[in-house]
Chains A and B, each alone.
Chain A
Amino acid sequence: NAGVTQTPKFRVLKTGQSMTLLCAQDMNHEYMYWYRQDPGMGLRLIHYSVGEGTTAKGEVPDGYNVSRLKKQNFLLGLESAAPSQTSVYFCASSSAGDGNTGELFFGEGSRLTVL
């Protein structure tokens, strides 16, 4: 059981380049999330999705776009990367509905460096 899988694990970009991070989960979870983690700042929510075809902004959405075309996948895009977007990105998912604890399951993280 793979759980939550993120690709790529590492990436180096130049300022202005674009890229997409892919998150895939095989737990049939309704909710999916993208966070960024920076030293001393914990995890900050970028965007999230409560179901296929829906997305919503989190705490720090500027400079990022997301799409959830399939229930199991949540894509995070950077259209024009900036050095301030150098970070470790985590994807997470959770299940909805009564009887579920709402516990988040995390991917292994994607380390992005923007030069």
Chain B
Amino acid sequence: ELKVEQNPLFLSMQEGKNYTIYCNYSTTSDRLYWYRQDPGKSLESLFVLLSNGAVKQEGRLMASLDTKARLSTLHITAAVHDLSATYFCAVVPGPGTYKYIFGTGTRLKVLA
């Protein structure tokens, strides 16, 4: 059974600082997704990582995937208040499967 773990679960950081959120998963997968959720809202797609070594960047966020280590990272550079949200990773366990299993989420609060 695929398990997806994120850490930290909560993150409070100052504006301008850098930090990394980690997403570990327990079985083979080559597809990983990152989503953002604002309070009371739905989930918004951030990144799609489809192969080992994939790196995607958008603004102050950069995501990477290491399928051998079963690890994805979401790096935040020079955080701003607008990045405050909950971030989820989701993994599809192997080719030919269609389940998307989500991590428990990382609640990020950026302090001005």
Contact = CB atoms under 8 A, between A and B. Distances in A.
Contacts of B105: 42
B63 interface: no
A42 B42 contact: no
Interface residues of B, number: 22
Contacts of A59: 101
Nearest to A59: B101
A101 B88 CA distance: 17
Contact of A104 (B9, B41, B100, B103): B100
Interface in A70-115: 90, 92, 94, 101-109
A41 B104 contact: yes
B33 A50 contact: no
Given A90-B42, A103-B45, A50 B104 contact: no
B41 to A, nearest CB: 8
Given A42-B88, A106-B43, A108-B42, A101 B99 contact: no
A102 B48 contact: yes
Interface string B8-49: 010000000000000000000001010100000111110010
Nearest to B106: A42
A41 B75 CA distance: 22
Interface in A35-94: 35, 40-45, 48, 50, 56, 58-59, 90, 92, 94
Given A42-B102, A42-B104, A109-B42, 18 more contacts: A31-B98, A42-B88, A42-B103, A42-B105, A43-B88, A43-B90, A43-B102, A45-B102, A50-B98, A92-B100, A102-B31, A102-B48, A103-B33, A103-B45, A103-B48, A104-B35, A106-B44, A108-B42
12 contacts: A31-B98, A43-B43, A43-B88, A43-B102, A44-B102, A48-B99, A50-B98, A90-B42, A90-B43, A94-B100, A104-B33, A104-B90
